[in-house]
Amino acid sequence: MDWKKEWKPLALILAVFAACYYLPVEWLQATRRIENALWESLYLVKWYAREHVLLCLVPAFFIAGAVGVFVSQAAVMKYLGPRANKVLAYGVASVSGTVLAVCSCTILPLFAGIYRMGAGLGPASAFLYSGPAINILAIVLTASVLGPEMGIARAVGAVVFAVVIGLCMHFIFRKEEEAKFEAAAGFPEPEVQRPLWQTALYFAAMVGILVFANWGRPEETSGLWHLIYSSKWWISSLFALALAVILVLWFKVGRGPMLLAALPVMVLALVFPQYPALAFVAGSIGLSVLTATGGGKKDGELQEWFDVSWDFAKKIMPLLFWGVLISGALLGRPENEGLIPSQWISGLVGGNSLGANLFASVVGAFMYFATLTEVPILQGLLGAGMGKGPALALLLAGPALSLPNMLVIRSVMGTKKTIVFVALVIVMATLSGLIFGAFY
């Protein structure tokens, strides 16, 4: 018998036996924790479907599909490729979150779009981290609820994180990056159908819809952020109107098909103004039908946009579904418990030890946080004795990563790169928490 080959099966058998031997059945039965974890996973999936799929992911899929169709590979390589100007590439990628204000799952289609178009691993990783981490509204809310020093530390740490993580990913996998660049170096410059400024305004309209339709309710009942929140559907409607005009004027969509797509949206907005999401759903369906049928165009450009967007959706959505289910079963929803008791978590993140910061980083990396929900969760944990260092570590690791997020990243750039990316986020968050906790 060759024990060099057989030790892995033996170790697996022993591990499973030990787990069965020490299985805390009595404790699980007494607390009904398994049953509760099942319900928590279902509740989280329901909440995620209601709050994030229609308003977050659907626009993100359309934007990702548009990147694949209307942005040339040569342009992506020029500005974000391995040989691009590093200051420009990392500067743009590291502050993208201030514009996008999306969660760790909504950023995935956008990341997949630019990465598959040839963006360098470094800038793409910086974009992947910064998209959900540098949310300007979340940073302002952090400063107002948890203190200005926490808000400033989160803002500075997130920008530095994005650049450092991107540079580390580029350095670790530099040989693969060079090979990708060499393979794409001989690609001919594609024919440009419209000026760059038209394409930029087209993307700005879609990003505007994504950002303002998902603008979260601020703590204050007055001021700029509350004014934007109270007007978010009017602002989103203006961006939607701009997108419709752009598609007709510059993308040559027929006026008749556009009117048919817009009519249900206007009717629902007028008849049910108290339910603006209905008009949003109608607009998403109308855009889907418009692009799938070509909108009166014969060159197939719009159909290609729909096909690429749908390809992203059917690959990413199942992974997100299972990831959210598992995350809900293990950690539950905010203020609710899954298999892992919240007392264990709060008891392990007190003080400013290495273990407390590392634990906070790991839990934050695997737990799913919707945009802005991390602030009230941390407020409760700080009240229960959580140290400020671990709190910052969770803030820097949590919004940017989640178990569903990791599953999709792996499908885009592979297991090895995903492990390195997650490890970099956890290590950086832990070190930042230690440093911050030493001063505060």
- What SS3 class is residue 96? coil
Whether 202 is in a domain gets the answer no
The pLDDT confidence band at residue 302, using thresholds 50, 70 and 90, is: confident
- Rounded CA separation 431/415 (Å): 24
Do residues 126 and 162 touch, judged by C-beta distance below 8 A? yes
Whether 289 is in a domain gets the answer no
- What SS3 class is residue 386? strand
Q: What is the pLDDT of residues 353-388, one digit of tens each?
A: 888 889 888 888 887 766 556 766 676 667 656 788
Dihedral sign from CA coordinates of 7, 9, 14, 18:
positive
**Does the reported pTM lie above 0.75?**
no
Q: What is the pLDDT of residues 255-275, one digit of tens each?
A: 888 999 999 999 999 999 888
Nearest CA to 313 out of 57, 15, 54 is that of 57
Whether 316 is in a domain gets the answer yes
What is the tally of structural domains in the chain? 1
The pLDDT confidence band at residue 322, using thresholds 50, 70 and 90, is: confident
Whether 323 is in a domain gets the answer yes
Nearest CA to 277 out of 108, 49, 42 is that of 49
- Rounded CA separation 435/352 (Å): 9
DSSP string, 195-229: -HHHHHHHHHHHHHHHHHHTPPPPS-SSSHHHHHH
Nearest CA to 401 out of 104, 161, 97, 103 is that of 104
* Beta-carbon contacts of residue 283 (< 8 Å; ≥ 6 apart): 240, 261, 262, 265
- Rounded CA separation 220/223 (Å): 7
Tell me how far apart the terminal alpha carbons of the chain are, to the nearest angstrom. Answer: 59
Instruction: Kindly report the number of other CB atoms within 10 A of residue 359's CB atom.
Output: 20
Whether 339 is in a domain gets the answer yes
- What SS3 class is residue 350? strand
Whether 277 is in a domain gets the answer no
Whether 305 is in a domain gets the answer yes
Residue 428 domain boundaries: 43-185+297-439
What average pLDDT score do residues 55-82 get?
A: 73
Instruction: Kindly report the number of other CB atoms within 10 A of residue 61's CB atom.
Output: 27
Whether 47 is in a domain gets the answer yes
